[in-house]
A = this chain, B = another copy of it.
Amino acid sequence: MARHRLFLPDADPEPGTHLTIAGQEAHHAARVKRMAPGDALELLNGRGLRALGTIQGFDREPGQGRGAKPEWVLRVLVTSAEREAPLQPRLRVLAGVPKGPHLEEMIDQLSQVGAAAWSPLVTTRTVVSPRSGKMLKAERIASESAKQCGRAWTMEIGEPVPLDDALADGRQGARPATRVIVADASGGVYEPDGSPDLTLLIGPEGGFAEGELEAARRADAAVCRFGVHVMRVETAAVVAAGIILDAERRRPRP
């Protein structure tokens, strides 16, 4: 079974460091996982750290404020600490915000499949515009998912990007240089080319408008098909991301 992981966004310890951890992570380790001194843990900070630690002990400290319950505090000795580079290639996914609970599902799945970042894509047919509460929730899910699936780098959640801006990023000579891939039934199979930076555009429900596809082709985007049936936004996003990353892994990196 997988080793228990703690997500500590503010930590960046060296081996030999003694950490004192309060809050949810300490409570969870003590009461839910019922861990004990001597148990091993993995520590992630979402910014490249992958450390191992050993539980030294648990303390109970008085809670903050009148009538607050005592809080669990966890003492951990860091035994090793590595800094991992972000995954190559870097794949940024721009996709519309699916309705209802499907946004959480999409963020979680994109994180598991190894996307580097997600931003809402703004198109002429985009219906759902994310409120700030939804974006904060997306960030919480990305953190939780990084811990669950053992990512050293948390998937970034970005601001909405209009289609024209996304296409401009892919034009020859554009900085930052990225290869833009547009998922559409009119395309062929994805051909990996070893680019270190990829941007995948997933159309809204109803697909891209014809003028949008023409603009994508004029901007030298790769229009590709990732399945034979109609896929909902969240399914298309995770399946296309999985296919692209797998195809690039088949090809030796430069």
CB within 8 Å of B: which residues of A? 1-2, 87, 101, 105, 108-109, 111-114, 148-151, 189-190, 206, 226-232, 235, 238-240, 242-243, 245-247, 249-250
Complex Cα–Cα for A149 and B108 (A): 22
| Distance between A42 CB and nearest chain B CB, rounded to angstroms | 12
- Whether B226 lies near A246 (C-beta < 8 A) is yes
Report if A206-B239 is in contact (Cβ < 8 Å); known contacts: A114-B228, A228-B87, A229-B112: no
How distant is the Cα of A226 from the Cα of B112 in the complex, in angstroms? 11
Residues on the B chain within 8 Å of A151, using CB: 229
Task: State in angstroms the CA–CA spacing of A112 and B235 once bound together.
Answer: 8
Query: A230 contacts B189, CB within 8 Å?
Result: no
Closest to A205 in B: B1
B residues near A101, Cβ cutoff 8 Å:
101
Task: Give 7 new A-B contacts, CB below 8 A, not counting A111-B229, A227-B246, A242-B242.
Answer: A87-B228, A101-B101, A112-B227, A113-B227, A149-B231, A238-B238, A246-B247
Bound-complex Cα distance A110 to B113 (A):
16
Inter-chain contact A206/B1, CB cutoff 8 Å: yes
Q: Which residues of B contact A149 (CB under 8 A)?
A: 229-232
Question: Are the C-beta atoms of B113 and A231 separated by less than 8 Å?
Answer: yes
Partner of A229, one of B114, B232, B249: B114
Q: Which residues of B contact A226 (CB under 8 A)?
A: 242, 246
A161 to chain B, nearest CB (A): 24
Question: Which residues from chain B contact A87 at a C-beta distance below 8 Å?
Answer: 228
Q: A189-B246, A238-B239 are in contact. Are A230 and B2 (CB under 8 A)?
A: yes
